[in-house]
């Protein structure tokens, strides 16, 4: 009787163990496929489909008094809200902007306005970088701004305060006191507030004649919106 009782208990224990193991596997699979790991930080996004991210509704975003690339009287205005430490913003700068510049900006059809949207919680050097470009712009105007803008994106992996001052000096501008004083901190923060008010939730974020476009999308996405505005 004792051996029979032990045998039953072992069989019951095995069944319960198998059931619990199966339940655990199911739970793990659910977690894996639903991505139950909390909200991801906002860092921007890459979109392969040219139509994804193009939203039909219009938003309100002004050029403010920020740097302009192209003819200021161009029919189409692209407002870029960007973060100098964001890898997707760098991708737009290196891959998509040259095509937009060649086809639309250089021909006077489009102008690009750069506004700051530093995601300071995950990109600690984005705010100082934005302030540095404003310091350079104060001394050398929009042409100097765009040179500093290119210098930063071209050396994104080496971003620090010393290099920001060094790069500005290579362009002929001493921004040490300006950057250290935080002179343009509130200006950059205002751009960030305006970006969020216009619907920006990540970087890069664009508003093309009032039409929002999110993420580091390919040239075709911009072409679709721009051509519609030019027609």
Q: Where are the domains of the chain?
A: 1-38, 68-230
pLDDT value at residue 148: 98
Burial class (CB in 10 A: 0-12, 13-18, 19+), 221: buried
Q: Quick: pLDDT tens for 191-217.
A: 999 999 999 999 999 999 999 999 999
Q: What percent of the chain has pLDDT over 70?
A: 76
pLDDT at 109 over 60: yes
pLDDT of residue 12 exceeding 80: no
CB count within 10 Å of CB 226 equals 22
More confident residue, 17 or 157: 157
Strand ranges inside 27-116, DSSP E:
68-69, 76-82, 110-116
- pLDDT tens, position by position, 85-105: 999 999 999 999 999 999 999
The pLDDT score that the predictor gives to residue 42 is 44
State both tokens at 128: 């100082």
pLDDT, residue 21, reads 52
What is the C-alpha separation between 191 and 201, in angstroms, rounded?
A: 13
**Phi then psi for 81, rounded to 5 degrees?**
-100, 115
**Does the pLDDT at position 169 exceed 80?**
yes
State mean pLDDT over 65-76. Answer: 97
Give me the long-range contacts of 190-197 (CB less than 8 A, separation at least 24): 190/64, 191/64, 191/66, 191/81, 191/115, 191/116, 191/117, 191/130, 192/116, 192/117, 192/118, 194/61, 194/62, 194/64, 194/81, 194/115, 195/61, 195/81, 195/115, 195/117, 197/60
- Per the prediction, the chain carries an average pLDDT of 84
3-state secondary structure of 45: coil
What is the Cα–Cα distance from 79 to 213, expressed in whole angstroms? 10
pLDDT of residue 7: 44
Tens of pLDDT, residue by residue over 16-59, are 555 555 555 444 443 333 333 333 344 444 333 344 444 548 89
**Of 190, 157, 178, which is closest to residue 84 (Cα–Cα)?**
157
- The DSSP output letter for 54 is B
Average pLDDT over residues 121-143: 98
pLDDT above 90 coverage of the chain, percent:
74
Superfamily of domain 68-230: Glutaredoxin (3.40.30.10)
* Partners of residue 208 on adjacent β-strands: 78, 211
- In this model, does residue 5 exceed pLDDT 70? no
């Amino acid at each position: 009787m004792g051996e029979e009782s032990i045998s039953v208990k072992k069989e019951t224990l095995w069944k319960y163990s198998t059931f619990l193991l199966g339940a655990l596997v199911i739970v793990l699979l659910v977690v894996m496929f639903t991505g139950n790991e909390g909200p991801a930080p906002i860092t921007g996004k890459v979109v392969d489909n040219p139509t994804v991210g193009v939203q039909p509704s219009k938003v309100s975003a002004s050029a403010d008094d920020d740097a302009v690339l192209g003819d200021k009287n161009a029919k189409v205005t692209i407002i870029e809200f960007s973060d100098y430490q964001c890898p997707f913003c760098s991708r737009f700068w290196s891959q998509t902007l040259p095509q937009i510049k060649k086809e639309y900006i250089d021909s006077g059809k489009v102008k690009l306005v750069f506004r700051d949207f530093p995601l300071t919680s995950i990109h600690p050097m984005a705010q100082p970088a934005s302030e540095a470009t404003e310091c350079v712009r104060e001394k050398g105007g929009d042409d100097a701004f765009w040179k500093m803008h290119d210098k930063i994106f071209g050396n994104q992996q080496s971003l620090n305060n010393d290099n920001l001052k060094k790069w500005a000096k290579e362009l002929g501008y001493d921004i040490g006191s300006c950057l250290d004083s935080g002179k343009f901190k509130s200006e950059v923060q205002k751009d960030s507030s305006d970006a969020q008010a216009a619907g920006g939730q990540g970087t890069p974020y664009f508003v093309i004649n009032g039409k929002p476009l999110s993420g580091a999308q390919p040239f075709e996405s911009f072409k679709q919106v721009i051509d519609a505005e030019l027609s």
